[in-house]
Structure 1
Amino acid sequence: MPATTASSLPAQFTELEPWVADWAHPTRQERYDMRLSKTFDELAAFYDAIAPRAEEAIEYLNGLDLDDLPEDATRLLRLLYSMIIVSYAVNVFDQPRIPDSGAAFFDTTAEPAV
């Protein structure tokens, strides 16, 4: 009998599985660091895979209790968070970093509860 692999995402979003390892990080800082570690083409590929499914993912997540999300839904939510961070690089900056920002940076002092 062939081995099966369990998806770490809800069943209707399994095609997004290749993006989980890099992009479903729990903190904004980890997601931002991942953005900075990728080339523009890698960011665009991620964005192009996730963005068309974003509305459907939001609708799915809206049907769940935010205070009691299953792990697969939490990973899907984190992919959406990463898509938002990547969207600026892809749609506005045309590069992973914020242009003309020099050595400036910011640290997040609080994270959302989920």
Structure 2
Amino acid sequence: MASVFPAGFEALEPFADWAVRGEKARYAKRIASTMDELDAFYSVAFPLLQSSREYLERVSLEDICEQDKRLLWVFCALVTVAFPVEAWRQPRVPDSGPSSIDAILEPAI
């Protein structure tokens, strides 16, 4: 079975469904997830943040492969779940009603 992520990031494989393209889609995934799901993802992804940054800094965006894109997207998802995990302890923004994300412009990859 082919790996979803580059070598060295096998621990993220159970969380491949977090490698979502687009901020709006990542936000929708966060809102649809339980705190247990957010905590599980965060606890595996956060310790890999430094090594993924170092790895992705060596990747050329002109030649980025699918595995590297998914690694980038999964760490964009980590940013999306970090504050709910670290501060709010709930997927939604507290006292915000039906909040949403409307990205006007997003990276092309």
Q: How high is the TM-score relative to the length of structure 2?
A: 0.93
Q: Which runs of 5+ in 1 are unaligned?
A: none
Are 1:17 and 2:3 counterparts? no
**Counterpart code for 1:75:** R
The equivalent position to 2:37 in structure 1, one of 34, 42, 54, is: 42
1:71-111 superposed Cα distances (whole Å, 9 cap, x missing partner) = 10110000000000000110121100000112343411211
Cα 1:19/1:106, change in 2 over 3 Å: closer
Choose which of 71, 81, 90 in structure 1 pairs with 2:85.
90
**8 A Cα contact 2:18 2:77, kept in partner:** yes
1:78 and 2:73 are equivalent in the alignment: yes
CA distance change for structure 1 residues 104 and 74 in 2, over 3 Å: closer, same or farther?
A: closer
2:27 and 2:101 in contact (8 A); partners too: no
In structure 2, the residue matched to 1:8 is: 4
Tell me the percent identity.
40
The RMSD of aligned alpha carbons is 1.1
Gaps of 5+ in 2: none
Could you tell me how far apart the structure 2 residues matched to 1:44 and 1:30 are?
19
Rg larger in structure: 1
